[in-house]
C-alpha cells in the first residue's frame, strides 16, 4: 500500500478540537479531488498545492495524494530532493510519472493498471511526479476531444484519463487528491478539470487576475456542456457506467497571493526619493492593491458563482502574503514553509506561514463540509 504511515515531523501549531472535528466530518465523506487552477502564470498555484498539501498531511494527518499535471514539473522539483530529481530524470529515460498514466492510451492500450505513486517524507504526502513528456500528449488530447464531443468512445476514454486516475486514487482511500496544473487553457488542463470534484483558484492581486477569472468561468462552462453532448451521443454508453457522469465540477474558493518582491527599481527610488515621497508612493501602491482586491468578491461571484451549486460558502480561502526569502529557502530545502529549518528572520516568517496555511486549511475544510453535507 503506497501511503504507509511514516515518521511525522513537528511543523508547529497543534490542532484544536474544532479542527479535528472539522477534518473528521470531511474525512468520513470520502476522498475529494481538487485542482488548483488559473490560466494566469506565476500566481502561486504550485506553492499553494505543496504547502496546503503539507499542512493537511503533516498537521491534520490526512492521507493526501498530490499530482503534478504541469509539464514544467515545478512541484516535482520542489518536493523531490536534488539527488532524487537527478536520479529520476537523468538516469532513466522512462521515469514512472504522470506520463506513465496517459502513455498506454496513446498506444491504444486503454488505461494503465497501477498508479506510479511515491512518498515525500518532508511534505508528508504521496505524489505522482510530473513529466516534461506530458506536453507531448497535448496533441493527442486535443484531437481526441473532437472525437469525444461527437460521442466517439476513443475520444471519451482519452478525455477521462484523469478521471480514471482519480477513481483509482479514491480506491486507495486517500482523504484528498490535489492536482497542480500548468498555466493554460489547453487540452491537458481540460482533461484534468473535467475529472475533478472541485477547483480552487489561486490568484495574484492585479487586474489580469480579474480577466483570468472571467476566462476560467466561461471556458469550464463550455467544456462541461460539450462533454455532456458527447456523452449523450456516446457510441457505447455501457462502457461509461463506471464513470460518474452526474457530477460537475464545483468552485471551492480562491486564494489571493501578494508576492511581489521589491524590485531593484524600488530600491533605487528609495535612494533618490525623500522619506515623504517614498511613503506616498508606498501608500499609493497599497491603495491600488486594495482597490483591485475589493472588487474580487463581486467579480468572483459573477464569473464563478454558477459553479457553487447554490451552496452558500465564503469563497475567500485566505491571502498568502509575501513571505520574503522563506519561499526560496523552502524550495532549496525541499521542505514545506511550515517546517523550513532556519534561525533569525526565518523564525518569524515560518510562524506566519504556519498561521496562514492553517487558516487556509480550515476554510478549505469548512467549504468542503458545506458542499458535502
Ligand X SMILES: Nc1ncnc2c1ncn2[C@@H]1O[C@H](COP(=O)(O)OP(=O)(O)OP(=O)(O)O)[C@@H](O)[C@H]1O
- Which residues in this chain contact ligand X in the complex, by CB under 6 A? 41-47, 70, 72, 74, 182-183, 257, 259, 320, 322-323, 327-328
Question: Smallest distance from the beta carbon of 182 to ligand X, in angstroms?
Answer: 6
Measuring CA to CA, which residue among 183, 184, 199, 203 is closest to residue 292? 203
Question: Smallest distance from the beta carbon of 178 to Mg ion, in angstroms?
Answer: 13
Question: Smallest distance from the beta carbon of 45 to Mg ion, in angstroms?
Answer: 5
Angle at CA of residue 91, ends 331 and 162, nearest 5°? 65
Question: Smallest distance from the beta carbon of 257 to ligand X, in angstroms?
Answer: 6
Residue 71, all three cell numbers: 509539464
Question: Smallest distance from the beta carbon of 49 to ligand X, in angstroms?
Answer: 8
74 binds Mg ion (CB under 5 A): yes
What is the C-alpha to C-alpha distance for residues 28 and 46, in angstroms, rounded to an integer?
27
Decide whether 74 or 158 has the Cβ nearer to Mg ion: 74
- Per partner kind, with CB cut-offs from 5 to 8 A, the member of Mg ion, ligand X, none near residue 47 is ligand X
Cβ contact 37:153 at 8 Å: no
Residue 156, all three cell numbers: 471519451
46 binds Mg ion (CB under 5 A): yes
Decide whether 22 or 188 has the Cβ nearer to ligand X: 188
Q: Which range, of 32-40, 70-78, 325-333, 351-359, touches Mg ion by CB under 5 A? A: 70-78
Decide whether 64 or 148 has the Cβ nearer to ligand X: 64
Cβ contact 40:204 at 8 Å: yes
40 binds Mg ion (CB under 5 A): no
| Alpha-carbon torsion, ordered 101, 104, 108, 109, to 10 deg | -100
Residues binding Mg ion: what is the number (CB under 5 A)?
Answer: 3
Distances (CA, A) of 304 to 43, 310, 327, 330, 361: 18, 11, 29, 32, 21
Question: Smallest distance from the beta carbon of 11 to Mg ion, in angstroms?
Answer: 22
45 binds Mg ion (CB under 5 A): yes
The residue with its CB nearest to Mg ion is: 46
Decide whether 23 or 254 has the Cβ nearer to ligand X: 254
Helical packing angle, 275-304 and 264-272, nearest 10°: 140
- Per partner kind, with CB cut-offs from 5 to 8 A, the member of ligand X, Mg ion, none near residue 159 is none
- Per partner kind, with CB cut-offs from 5 to 8 A, the member of Mg ion, ligand X, none near residue 11 is none
Helix/strand/coil percent split, the chain, to 5:
55, 10, 35
Cβ contact 318:255 at 8 Å: yes
Decide whether 148 or 203 has the Cβ nearer to Mg ion: 203
Decide whether 76 or 191 has the Cβ nearer to Mg ion: 76
Residue 204 — φ and ψ, nearest 5°?
-90, 160
Decide whether 209 or 303 has the Cβ nearer to ligand X: 209
What is the C-alpha to C-alpha distance for residues 296 and 313, in angstroms, rounded to an integer?
15
Question: Smallest distance from the beta carbon of 46 to ligand X, in angstroms?
Answer: 3
Q: Which residues are 177's β-sheet partners?
A: 33, 65
Question: Smallest distance from the beta carbon of 214 to ligand X, in angstroms?
Answer: 18
Question: Smallest distance from the beta carbon of 275 to ligand X, in angstroms?
Answer: 26
Distances (CA, A) of 19 to 59, 306, 360: 10, 29, 12
Which positions from 337 to 366 touch Mg ion by CB under 5 A, shown as an x/- string?
Answer: ------------------------------
Residue 279, all three cell numbers: 511613503
Decide whether 231 or 252 has the Cβ nearer to ligand X: 252
Q: Which residues are 201's β-sheet partners?
A: 254
Measuring CA to CA, which residue among 362, 367, 355, 353 is closest to residue 259? 353
User: Binding residues for Mg ion, per CB under 5 A?
Assistant: 45-46, 74
Amino acid at each position: 500500500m503506497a501511503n504507509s504511515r511514516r515518521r511525522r515531523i513537528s511543523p508547529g501549531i497543534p490542532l484544536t478540537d474544532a479542527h479535528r472535528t472539522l477534518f473528521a466530518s470531511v474525512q468520513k465523506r470520502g476522498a475529494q479531488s481538487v485542482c488548483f487552477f488559473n490560466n494566469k502564470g506565476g500566481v502561486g498555484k504550485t506553492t499553494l498545492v505543496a504547502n496546503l498539501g503539507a499542512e493537511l498531511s503533516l498537521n491534520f494527518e490526512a492521507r493526501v495524494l498530490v499530482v503534478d499535471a504541469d509539464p514544467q514539473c515545478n512541484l516535482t522539483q520542489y518536493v523531490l530532493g536534488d539527488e532524487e530529481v537527478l536520479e529520476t530524470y537523468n538516469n532513466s529515460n522512462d521515469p514512472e510519472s504522470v506520463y506513465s498514466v496517459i502513455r498506454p492510451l496513446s498506444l491504444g492500450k486503454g488505461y494503465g493498471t497501477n498508479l506510479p505513486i511515491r512518498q515525500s517524507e518532508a511534505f508528508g504526502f504521496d505524489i505522482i511526479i510530473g513529466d516534461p513528456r506530458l506536453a507531448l500528449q497535448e496533441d493527442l488530447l486535443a484531437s481526441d476531444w473532437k472525437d469525444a464531443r461527437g460521442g466517439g468512445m476513443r475520444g471519451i476514454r482519452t478525455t477521462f484519463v484523469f478521471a480514471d486516475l482519480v477513481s483509482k486514487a479514491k480506491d486507495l482511500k486517500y482523504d484528498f487528491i490535489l492536482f497542480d496544473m500548468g498555466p493554460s487553457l489547453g487540452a491537458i488542463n481540460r482533461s484534468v478539470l473535467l475529472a475533478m470534484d472541485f477547483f480552487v483558484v489561486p490568484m495574484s492581486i492585479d487586474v489580469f487576475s480579474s480577466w483570468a477569472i472571467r476566462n476560467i468561468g466561461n471556458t469550464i462552462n463550455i467544456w462541461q456542456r460539450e462533454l455532456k453532448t458527447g456523452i449523450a451521443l456516446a457510441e457505447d454508453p455501457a462502457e461509461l457506467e463506471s464513470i460518474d457522469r452526474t457530477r460537475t465540477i464545483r468552485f471551492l474558493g480562491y486564494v489571493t497571493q501578494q508576492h511581489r518582491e521589491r524590485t531593484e527599481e524600488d530600491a533605487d527610488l528609495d535612494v533618490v526619493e525623500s522619506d515623504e515621497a517614498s511613503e506616498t508612493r508606498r501608500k499609493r501602491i497599497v491603495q491600488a492593491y486594495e482597490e483591485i482586491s475589493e472588487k474580487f468578491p463581486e467579480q468572483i461571484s459573477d464569473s464563478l458563482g454558477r459553479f457553487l451549486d447554490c451552496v452558500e460558502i465564503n469563497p475567500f480561502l485566505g491571502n498568502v502574503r509575501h513571505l520574503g526569502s522563506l519561499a526560496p529557502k523552502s524550495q532549496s530545502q525541499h521542505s514545506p514553509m511550515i517546517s523550513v529549518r532556519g534561525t533569525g528572520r526565518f523564525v518569524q516568517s515560518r510562524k506566519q506561514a504556519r498561521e496562514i496555511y492553517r487558516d487556509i486549511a480550515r476554510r478549505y475544510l469548512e467549504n468542503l463540509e458545506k458542499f458535502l453535507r
